[in-house]
A and B are shown apart, each in its own frame.
Chain A
């Protein structure tokens, strides 16, 4: 009895050893499938999916029956490999068996939803068959899974935006808040400088329609886009819509003249750009100022053409008064520092007195006129007055608070 049992065990072990050896050889040769070792591989393992796949490919043009049967075997032997089904579906499509091909492609999409390459292959198939809606679903899945195809897919989709279905699909993606959509939005903004496809506004509106409020990053990009195009009023409206309740309390012809809110580098906020020669801070107000914060600019005695605090305004034509409070904290400069109001960065509309020396909080004001023409946007900026290099070296601090603009009637 024991002997019989041992014999059975021996035979099983022998079978296993043979299987291991044959699979080993098969795998060994299959690494070299491309160099026509297909038959050798199949001799050792008749169900090697890669060899079957290659074998079927080799018979594609000569024996379609063999092609489909060996491809089917290849698919069955390794369902985790999507290539066979892709090829089979393509083959059916080529043979005019559209229903079968469609079914196979949809099956692929269901079987490998996380495989970006499969999704792109499926999308390509449906795109070729003028089914943009279904193609787009798979592109969308591919882009959701991977950034790898962003450039090529974004370029392709962008180039097809004159196609009504493609346009509808991309706008729909905005509404569905697809994961990849913000990346496409950034791409579309970049492309808008190069091409004449008008899509950015529609993309933004589509996102807005469904979410009721867009993500801050999207809003920031859109405002920058509008500002770059000098679409000032739209930029202002979009910026205004993104303000918090507290920020809205600081609105006026000049935004947040009390420096109560954070700086930012887009829209109509105060911009405070980094500068090696000066430190720009919002600091706690002291006696003589109001609110919780004030602007403090500390110059570090290094040469600089300072113009790093600024804000854009959209004043209509007319006469205005720019006023505020200043505290001079030991400012040493040849020609001082002043506030300048200009149309963009070109025509100067007005300039405050030059701040220099030491003085406790004092009021200052400057009257200026916004012309009817060519001055839709104005810049308010703090600048150094300089005629030569030595004028750029400044030491000491300036404090500002309660800045405002009022219209003169």
Chain B
């Protein structure tokens, strides 16, 4: 009984270790614009085909994008102004470890194979929300200010001209 426990523990550890050791390399598939890589404090410009290691930080500058690939069934699209840190060797298992609030949009296949039910961990292909900053709705109405500029419904010359007045003799004429 005690022996079985040790075997089970050994298998679990082996599974974890082999998962890390045999995971395929994460590479930069395609780049648009300027993408920088911070490798242990040294910044370099990212080029296509560059390999990433755990701990690397990818900075996608304004109006730029990058596609990270791992094997044939995992890809991550990094968008403009996004900072991505590769925390795990398994790119598609990392969707909860993104630095930027936008997160990488993990797409199982971008120009590659369609995702299939047996392609691995279903959760790993979860798409994170679109750019959250563009969803800024709401606000306040300052009704007093609206009245300052909107010409009142009832036509009165004085009010109308006071709207556009500010000199030039316009305000000197009174309809009364």
Q: Which residues of A contact B (CB under 8 A)?
A: 33-34, 50, 53-54, 57-58, 60, 83, 86-87, 90-91, 93-94, 117-118, 120-121, 123-125, 127-128, 148, 152-153, 155-156, 159-162, 195-199, 201-202, 205, 208, 212-213, 233-234, 236-238, 240-241, 248, 251-253, 316, 404-407
Contact = CB atoms under 8 A, between A and B. Distances in A.
Contacts of B129: none
A121 B149 CA distance: 9
Given A213-B63, A253-B41, A117 B173 contact: no
B136 A201 contact: yes
A34 B138 contact: no
A58 B157 CA distance: 10
A155 B166 contact: no
B142 interface: yes
| Interface majority SS (helix, strand, loop, mixed), chain A | helix
B152 to A, nearest CB: 8
A58 B156 CA distance: 11
Interface in B53-83: 59, 61-63, 81-83
A87 B157 contact: yes
B43 A213 contact: no
A90 to B, nearest CB: 5
**Interface range for B:** 35 or more
Contacts of A34: 172-174
B133 A155 contact: no
A197 B140 contact: yes
| Interface majority SS (helix, strand, loop, mixed), chain B | loop
A28 to B, nearest CB: 15
Q: Most chain-B Cβ atoms within 10 A of its Cβ — which of A57, A212, A407?
A: A57
16 contacts: A53-B173, A91-B155, A93-B155, A124-B149, A124-B151, A128-B150, A148-B166, A152-B149, A159-B140, A159-B141, A159-B142, A199-B139, A237-B62, A237-B83, A251-B43, A316-B85
Contacts of A93: 155
A205 B160 contact: no
B139 A241 contact: no
A120 B163 contact: yes
A121 B160 contact: yes
B145 A86 contact: no
Contact of B81 (A125, A234, A407): A234
B100 interface: yes
Contacts of B153: 128
Nearest to B102: A234
A193 to B, nearest CB: 14
A201 B131 CA distance: 11
B151 A121 contact: yes
A407 B36 CA distance: 19
B146 A159 contact: yes
B173 A86 contact: no
